[in-house]
Amino acid sequence: MPANFRLSSLAVSALAIAACGAGVHAAAFAAGGAAQASGSLIPKVKPATANDLDFRPGTLRLVTDAESGARFWVFIYTIANKTGKTQRFSPRFELLMGDGTILEAGRDVPVEAGRRVLRSVGSDQALDQFQIMGEILDGEANAREGVVVWPAKGDSKEITMFVSGMSSAFDRVKDPATGKDAIIRRSWSRQYSVPGSPDPRVASEASFDPIKDAWLMR
CA dist list (Å): 154 to 8, 59, 137, 199: 18, 19, 38, 16
Name which residue leads in pLDDT, 201 or 53. Answer: 53
- pLDDT single digits (tens) 189-215: 999 988 666 555 556 788 888 888 888
Average pLDDT of the residues in 153-166: 90
> Residue 37: which pLDDT band, with cuts at 50, 70 and 90?
very low
CB 167 within 8 A of CB 47: yes
What pTM was computed for the model? 0.74
> Residue 22: which pLDDT band, with cuts at 50, 70 and 90?
very low
For the chain, give every domain's residue range.
3-217
User: What integer best gives the mean pLDDT of the chain?
Assistant: 77
What is d(CA 26, CA 21) in angstroms, rounded to the nearest whole number? Answer: 5
What is d(CA 208, CA 117) in angstroms, rounded to the nearest whole number? Answer: 22
Strand partners, 172: 183
**For the chain, what percent of residues have pLDDT higher than 70?**
75
> Residue 34: which pLDDT band, with cuts at 50, 70 and 90?
very low
Comparing 6-20, 37-51, 63-77, 114-128, the range with the smallest average pLDDT is 6-20
CA 62 to chain centre: 15
Residue partners of 59: CB distance under 8 A and separation at least 6? 38, 39, 40, 75, 76, 205, 206
Strand partners, 3: none
pLDDT of residue 45: 78
**For the chain, what percent of residues have pLDDT higher than 90?**
33
pLDDT at 91 over 90: yes
